[in-house]
Amino acid sequence: MSMILTIATREFKSLFISPLAWTVLAILQCLLAYLFLTQVETFTLIQPKLAGIDGAPGLTDIIVTPLYGNAGIILLLVTPLLTMRLICEERRNKTLTLLLSAPISTVDIIIGKYLGSLGLLLLLVCLITLMPLSLLIGGELDMGKLFANFLALLLLVSAFTATGLFMSTVAGHPTIAAMGTFGILLLLWILDWSAGMKEQRSELFEYLSILRHFQNLQSGLISSVDISYFLLFTATFILLSIRSLDNDRLQK
């Protein structure tokens, strides 16, 4: 256990030693702040009209849900870049040997690496959450829904990170790992689109789609189906990463 923490801390710190983490945090915060402000603007414009309608969408629906939705898409692009180097770079720099010959198991290595990079994304999700929280100064929020969005985004990045970690374990070059992660994630993201066409509706595709589960959670409906989807997704890729790192020793 302490080994996992050692590796996770080191991974987390190393992100902040290089400009990478800072750049990602700054740029994402700028982009999302811009989107957030446009959303606030829209709300103030249509607020008078909404006041007249019964059961109209509130502040949370109009501002928070789109904000987290956009964050999800942006993270789909960014996570592969953050995770691509996890194992791949260590292997290329031959520093993986240091971990493999130390008295720690591959499980420790993989989970440590995973938690380390998830730490940065957790920080990012928290920073994003500060924006809707700022609305509390002058308005009221549906805290339940905000929490659902927070949870949805967190589960989403957990799944993204696990995929990225696995690709980084498999790929020989960080760019390939990033491209592979991006490919898998985008495919799973858009898998649901064909479900729109009535004739070709596929329940399997619908179930596999990340987007579908993400949106379900975002709508405030925290169902065990969606949560277990994300947990299973994450666990699968972590297990695959462990397997693949173990395989490194068996054959080269």
Positions touching another protein (CB under 8 A) are: 2-3, 6-7, 10, 14, 17-18, 93-105, 249-252
Check if the beta carbon of residue 67 is closer than 8 Å to that of residue 39: yes
* Minimum CB distance to another protein smaller for 93 or for 223: 93
CB-neighbour burial class of residue 182 (10 A; exposed 0-12, middle 13-18, buried 19+): buried
Q: How far is the CB of 112 from another protein (least distance, A)?
A: 10
Q: Can you give the length of the chain in residues?
A: 252
CA 218/CA 15 separation, integer angstroms: 29
**227 closest CA partner among 243, 240, 214, 246:** 214
Residue 80 CB contacts under 8 Å (≥ 6 apart), including other chains: 160, 164, 167, 177, 178, 179, 180, 181, 182, 185
Q: How far is the CB of 248 from another protein (least distance, A)?
A: 8
* Minimum CB distance to another protein smaller for 11 or for 192: 11
Instruction: Give residue for tokens 């020793």.
Output: 249
Q: How far is the CB of 1 from another protein (least distance, A)?
A: 11
Q: How far is the CB of 10 from another protein (least distance, A)?
A: 6
* Minimum CB distance to another protein smaller for 105 or for 202: 105
* Minimum CB distance to another protein smaller for 95 or for 228: 95
Q: How far is the CB of 97 from another protein (least distance, A)?
A: 5
* Minimum CB distance to another protein smaller for 137 or for 250: 250
